Amino acid sequence: MFPLILSAAGVALVLDRSGDGLPRVRHFGADLGPVDAIALLPVLGSLSPVPRLVPAQGDTWYGRPGLSGSRAGEHWPVRWSLEDVQVAARPGAGGTVTVTAADPDAGLELFTELAMDTRGLVTMRHTVLNVAATPYRVEGLTCALPVPARAGELLDFTGRWALEKVPQRRAFGHGVWSRENRRGRTGHDGTGLLVAGTQGFGFRGGEVWGVHAGWSGDHVHYAERLHEGVALLAAGELLESGEITLAQGETYRTPLVYFTWSDSGLDDASARLHDHLRAERSLSVRPVTLNNWEATYFDHGLDRLLELADRAAAVGIERFVLDDGWFRHRRDDRAGLGDWYVDEDVWPDGLHPLAEHVRKHGMQFGLWFEPEMVNLDSDLAREHPGWILGMPDRLPPPQRHQQVLDLARPEAYDYVLGRLDTLAGEYALDYIKWDHNRDIAEPVHGGVPGVHAQTQATYRLLDELRRRHPGLEIESCSSGGARIDYGILARTDRVWTSDSNDALDRQAIQRWTGLLVPPERMGSHVGAPYDHITGRALPLGFRAATALFGHMGVEWDLTAASESELEELATWIALHKRFRPLLHAGRVVRADHPDPSALLHGVVTPERGLFAFVQLTSRVESGPAPLRLPGLDPAAEYDLRIAGPIPAGTAMPGWADESLRLPGATLGELGLPGPSLRPASALLFEVERV
């Protein structure tokens, strides 16, 4: 059979359908031009062997198998026979390929969905069907694409609470580099994106391939290279033994796995992901949000909250979110989770006085929940101890004084849905902050590992709540950034990037989280002058300039702020609103700036751009490096001007005092003389196409 080519936006994927088995992906990378599929035949025959869509030893693949499983305790190696290939594709516009295969001896059928969107992003998922009378236990099923020998370096991410998405790089040698997560959620240390690339690749240069599993439970991302000269990137759900057992006629479907490529660095690979997410669902204008948590914590005195709402409205905030502490028995974090009724002692008139006051200011009203969790000290746990996810006669180890509610139990699911539905309706909620504050340990549901069922139940709960309340927006928070993936983002409107509002740490957290998540989906707040996690005090201008490049919000007790601080904050919020259409629709660009003590990043459209030069720490060199502005059209001319307040103590270059017009090629290649900034400060400037 002739090769099949999918192509779009400078990317091509070539499927080799020769032989009786599953197709092989012979190429995933740069567009091959107007080549005829027949002309590729002799070229494909000379290439090194590559694995089929589901790698297996029966196809001479001696690495990690794509499918592993057993039947009645016996190992059943699978050798697929191709049954059908359905194609809907147009050159240059991507398309879809659906592959059907079977192994009658193993009693299995396979359905593979492979798609390339118009931006060149590839998605893949497999479905395996058991057609035999005896049960088949699925131990693992991943999606993989090959990468060429020149991909000699790997980038992935680790982290912890309040310091997510820390990059780590290594050589891509022989063997497997596997990032496995068994925390029941995506995890603070979840890589998010596993990248292979040519030596020394960066944001603006080098060829890169990336993979992401769109799944919010246990997952695996891995890179593998064999001595035969073949390598691949793969990802999927990480299954525990016995978690998925298929009776006759039952199926297991993998989560969607996303593959991106670029020959011009991480920014372009990231843009394909951003564009895909934006095309999946367009969002309304992202309101500037105040969350009261770090302002009042569990102190829910009405007068104090009303004053906070007044201050919020005065500085231009558009949404007020009441965080933890409003429901029964919740005076600290040891009690009340699961008792989703407004606390009558604290709120004798319900939340209506606060909600009405907030809305009189023209702000939206939102509420915090942690629907998947329960405190043992709660009416819910006392009345329904069997609803806790775990062994029937043994509790899992506690974290944060709480346990996980088994949402795969229909009664628990119905209770949580009923309470959220009722409260969303009673208070006409505009917004829910949906938290998930612990890892899932020893999850047992129905006698088998329960993460898969719990994740699917959470998805169903989110989907049904949104169906009942179409205008409701939901934020996914998981003790900060521990559940950021395309599975949860398909059902929520933004993610809380980190529990740390320390702007210095946030610069790196947002920079690397932003590879996967566009700015409008990334919560970023102006915290208090003194950060309670790091103990660091930072100037307001730096905190605001950091929050401005995301879905901006405030998490600071404004009743304690001075008038001058409130005026300055209002200026920054107005600046964010002015640039919001650009920030939340443009392309994110990051310079490979030579000075490790500073960052240069921005967001651009064909007509304009906003950039931030950020001085993180003190410079080693006495003078700043030139600012080479990425992402501009080299053939266009741009006017350049300062866009925001100039930080105190800044030594400005001469161009800042006069109108400057230069070609994009000059701004990108020679750059501009950089300002001399103090540590923990940022200067914003904009460009506009002439």
Going by pLDDT thresholds of 50, 70 and 90, the confidence category of residue 656 is confident
Please tell me which residue in 323, 499, 505, 531 is annotated as part of the active site: 499
Going by pLDDT thresholds of 50, 70 and 90, the confidence category of residue 41 is confident
- 122-131, 277-286, 543-552: which range is least confident on average? 277-286
> Residue 345: which of 334, 324, 333, 329 has the closest Cα?
329
Residues 488 and 500: their CA atoms lie apart, in Å, by: 21
* pLDDT at 48 > cutoff 80: no
Coil, helix or strand at residue 316: coil
Could you tell me if residue 514 is left (phi over 0), alpha (psi between -120 and 50 degrees) or otherwise beta? Answer: alpha
pLDDT one-digit tens code per residue, 455-500? 999 999 999 999 999 999 999 999 999 999 999 999 999 999 999 9
Domain boundary among 280, 315, 348: 280
Report H helices in 12-166. Answer: 41-46
- For residues 527-535, average pLDDT: 97
- For residues 120-131, average pLDDT: 98
Return the pLDDT at 45: 65
* pLDDT at 18 > cutoff 90: no
Report H helices in 361-469. Answer: 379-383, 410-426, 451-468
Q: Looking at the domain assignment, is residue 172 inside a domain?
A: yes
Residue pair 404/397 in contact (Cβ under 8 Å)? The answer is: no
Coil, helix or strand at residue 358: helix
Angle, alpha carbons 200-205-207 (nearest 5°):
75
* pLDDT at 243 > cutoff 70: yes
Structure-derived torsion over alpha carbons of residues 486, 488, 492, 494, reported in degrees to the nearest 10: -60
- 9-18, 36-45, 230-239: which range is least confident on average? 36-45
Provide the residue range defining the domain that includes 39. Answer: 4-280
Q: Cα dist. 388→369, 381, 446, 451 in Å?
A: 18, 8, 12, 13
**Percent of the chain residues topping a pLDDT of 70:** 99
What is the amino acid identity at position 77?
Answer: P
Q: Looking at the domain assignment, is residue 212 inside a domain?
A: yes
Return the pLDDT at 1: 67
Q: Looking at the domain assignment, is residue 624 inside a domain?
A: yes
Q: Looking at the domain assignment, is residue 601 inside a domain?
A: yes
Q: Looking at the domain assignment, is residue 492 inside a domain?
A: no
Please tell me which residue in 275, 435, 493, 531 is annotated as part of the active site: 435
Residues 371 and 376: their CA atoms lie apart, in Å, by: 14
pLDDT one-digit tens code per residue, 662-678? 999 999 999 999 999 99
**Percent of the chain residues topping a pLDDT of 90:** 92
Residue 112 has φ and ψ, to the nearest 5°, of -115, 130
CA-based torsion, 38, 42, 46, 52: positive or negative:
positive
Q: What is the CATH number of the domain that holds 657?
A: 2.60.40.1180
Any catalytic annotation for residue 633?
no
Q: Looking at the domain assignment, is residue 41 inside a domain?
A: yes
pLDDT one-digit tens code per residue, 345-354? 999 999 999 9
* pLDDT at 46 > cutoff 90: no
Sequential DSSP letters for 493-552:
SEEE--S---HHHHHHHHHHHTTTS-GGGEEEEEE-SB-TTT--B--HHHHHHHHHTSEE
Q: Looking at the domain assignment, is residue 318 inside a domain?
A: no
* pLDDT at 2 > cutoff 80: no
Question: Which one is predicted more confidently, 75 or 430?
Answer: 430
* pLDDT at 428 > cutoff 90: yes
Any catalytic annotation for residue 639?
no
* pLDDT at 547 > cutoff 70: yes
Return the pLDDT at 282: 86
Q: For strand 122-130 and strand 251-253, is the pairing parallel, antiparallel, or unpaired?
A: antiparallel
- For residues 379-403, average pLDDT: 96
> Residue 587: which of 275, 367, 232, 138 has the closest Cα?
275
Return the pLDDT at 400: 95
Domain boundary among 280, 308, 339: 280
- 36-45, 416-425, 676-685: which range is least confident on average? 36-45
Q: What is the CATH number of the domain that holds 39?
A: 2.70.98.60
Which neighbouring-strand residues pair with 219?
181, 237
Neighbours of 29 (CB within 10 A): 21
Q: Looking at the domain assignment, is residue 614 inside a domain?
A: yes
Q: How far is C-alpha 578 from the geometric centre of its chain's CA atoms?
A: 26
- For residues 94-108, average pLDDT: 97
The predicted model scores a pTM of 0.97
Domain boundary among 262, 280, 298: 280
Return the pLDDT at 47: 61
- The total number of structural domains in the chain stands at 2
pLDDT one-digit tens code per residue, 406-427? 999 999 999 999 999 999 999 9
pLDDT one-digit tens code per residue, 152-184? 999 999 999 999 999 999 999 999 999 999 999
- For residues 348-361, average pLDDT: 98
Per residue, the 3-state secondary structure of 219-262, as one string, reads EEEEEEECCCCCEEEEEEECCCCCCEEECCCCEEECCCEEEEEE
Average pLDDT, the chain: 96
Return the pLDDT at 39: 77
pLDDT one-digit tens code per residue, 303-331? 999 999 999 999 999 999 999 999 999 99
